[in-house]
A and B are shown apart, each in its own frame.
Chain A
Amino acid sequence: KAGVTQTPRYLIKTRGQQVTLSCSPISGHRSVSWYQQTPGQGLQFLFEYFSETQRNKGNFPGRFSGRQFSNSRSEMNVSTLELGDSALYLCASRGEDRYNEQFFGPGTRLTVL
């Protein structure tokens, strides 16, 4: 099976712009989660989608949003970018068995100038 894929891998934006990141989960996985990784805060949970519905949301401002499509692919959007949004954004997918773990993609490195 192919792993979790994320596009683009690298992105440079300026403050005030918005950005959309894309994630394709492992085939058959309906749960997709997003995490932000920074040197200072580590890995922080953004949100989880399952069957096109947001099931859980972390403690991030409303500028961070996401959605999931019927084929389980997911996008996250960050509007009005701030310098502090520079981070590695990781997508993870998971099967439905309760003993399944999350499988992570390579991430999108976002730099905000």
Chain B
Amino acid sequence: AQSVSQHNHHVILSEAASLELGCNYSYGGTVNLFWYVQYPGQHLQLLLKYFSGDPLVKGIKGFEAEFIKSKFSFNLRKPSVQWSDTAEYFCAVTLTSGAGSYQLTFGKGTKLSVIP
């Protein structure tokens, strides 16, 4: 069955530190990959997405992610975090079946706490 693994449950960083959140998926076919963010008290928002092409994807707020097909990974990075990046981050993969249906499979999420 399709699954997504996020390696870190909770990450604590100081402001200006670099961030890398791991994400691995298990699926042998063509994938579409996403990172969503959930700020405290807010709804899920898309950070970035990968469908095809350049495996290095740039998103909003200075985030980027690299798709490495051979490693089944899609790690999220940011060179310098800010206190406002404190949030929960979710990696997700589309799982498609017949008739054009659409389903996201999410990882369990990584909570990021940034200390001023």
Contact = CB atoms under 8 A, between A and B. Distances in A.
Interface of A: 31, 33, 35, 42-45, 48, 50, 55-56, 58, 90, 92, 94, 98-99, 101-107
Contacts, number: 55
A75 to B, nearest CB: 19
A104 B44 contact: yes
A105 B43 contact: yes
B107 to A, nearest CB: 7
A101 B49 contact: yes
B97 interface: yes
Interface of B: 34, 36, 42-46, 49, 51, 90, 92, 97, 99-109
Contacts of B51: 98-99
A102 to B, nearest CB: 6
B41 to A, nearest CB: 9
B103 A56 contact: yes
16 contacts: A33-B103, A33-B104, A42-B90, A42-B106, A42-B107, A42-B109, A43-B104, A43-B109, A44-B106, A45-B104, A48-B101, A55-B101, A56-B97, A56-B101, A56-B103, A107-B43
Contacts of B101: 48, 50, 55-56
A50 B103 CA distance: 12
A90 B44 contact: yes
Contacts of A31: 102
